[in-house]
Amino acid sequence: MGWISRALLGLALTLAGGSLTARADGATAVPSGVSYELIGRWDVDKLNAVLTTEAPRFFGITVAYAPARNAVRLYRVTYPSVVPEQGNRPIITTGLLALPDTEGTSFPLLSYQHGTVYGKKQVPSFPDQSPETELALALFAGQGYAVIGADYFGMGASSEPEGYLVKASHQQATYDMLLASRAVLAQMNITTTKLFLGGWSQGGFVTMAMLQKLEEAGITVDGAATASAPFDGYAALSGFLDFPRPNDATWVTTLFILTAFSFENYYGVPGLARSLINDSYYDVARAAYERKPYDPSHIPTAVKDLVRAEYFDARFFRASAYGRILLNETQAYRWIIRSPVRNYYGEKDEVITPGLGQLAMTYQRGIGAGNMQVEAISTGPTDHRGTYATAIPLWKAWFDGK
């Protein structure tokens, strides 16, 4: 644990009423470099519009959600962290803290981990640009939960390059966001009763990676739930190369782009992205990764067009620098899981196969007599978006019972 994390942990555990400092930019400062600012208030009508109109339109499925009971206050939290892959280089990053706008001072806490997005600000601390975050807020914060969500390194207001599927950085971003949020809550004289984790797609991977780090740090997690989670990045991307399905999503090429450039930047492997991506698409792929202006129609939808031919040889792929990083650094299920976990998967998910969705459970139950802490649950014939929309009220029902 880096010195910043230790300082934040100590602050979160001991700070109960220190002085507030208003900054010139309108944010409120908390010791150890944390600050927060109010960015909005969503009333019950707004939250219920998400549940009844906006979510069905975006996710393509209608689910009977319980209505919101209270308004929600939204804060952007800016906090210090470190990049583990770069010798714990200090950085500043951002996330969201959402609180029920009630007279209560004690709430259960959900840490929500967001999925793959195309825009730099389609993340929790810009919630009006993130339909998945909106749904989590309407369901959880609108019914009495405090909700937090890290933007991940390179996203939101961060000036860093994106660290897509860079496991240790995902762990650090979410871990330090939890500690920073607890420090802010302490300044507000708000306590949290239980800690839950949830995430969709990429966020499902991050949720499991965060769970691993929290368990290693001795922090109790009362329940963790995922939807459409790629627990093993190598298995997921190998599937698109070696065993493609007729229903594979046309946007999976984005996964190769984001991982290739992220690995190049965070693991320090110059030329890694160029070694994977065909020359004719390298420039537009780099623009997409860097969130610079580009024409999305210029990104190929077929993996064989984007990725160099040699990577379709499974032996070459595994031995390549890109493949070795995927194989060794992008798994989030191979430890003895102590917390209760539910992994939801869809039978018609165009990105995550049922086998991949069940992988964490299969692995844990294959250990000796079997570790029964992980349960994989089908949401039926749902696609990638539909799996999340269907699973998230099941998360809440499960969490509510704990």
* Domain map (residue ranges) of the chain: 3-232+338-400, 237-329
* Contact between residue 201 and residue 351 where contact means Cβ atoms under 8 Å apart: yes
- What gap in Å lies between CA 253 and CA 296, rounded to an integer? 12
- As its CATH architecture, domain 3-232+338-400 has 3-Layer(aba) Sandwich (3.40)
CA-closest candidate to residue 164, choices 292, 276, 267, 305: 267
Residue type, 106: S
In order along its 402 residues, the chain shows pLDDT tens digits of 343 444 444 433 333 333 345 555 678 999 889 999 999 999 999 999 999 999 999 999 999 999 999 999 999 999 999 999 999 999 999 999 999 999 999 999 999 999 999 999 999 999 999 999 999 999 999 999 999 999 999 999 999 999 999 999 999 999 999 999 999 999 999 999 999 999 999 999 999 999 999 999 999 999 999 999 999 999 999 999 999 999 999 999 999 999 999 999 999 999 999 999 999 999 999 999 999 999 999 999 999 999 999 999 999 999 999 999 999 999 999 999 999 999 999 999 999 999 999 999 999 999 999 999 999 999 999 999 999 999 999 999 999 999
- In the β-sheet with 223-227, what is the strand arrangement from edge to edge? 21-22, 28-30, 34-42, 72-83, 89-100, 146-150, 106-113, 191-200, 223-227, 341-345, 374-378
Question: Cα 211 to chain center, whole Å?
Answer: 12
Pairing of the two strands 341-345 and 72-83:
unpaired
The separation between the first and the last C-alpha atoms of the chain, rounded to the nearest angstrom, is 29
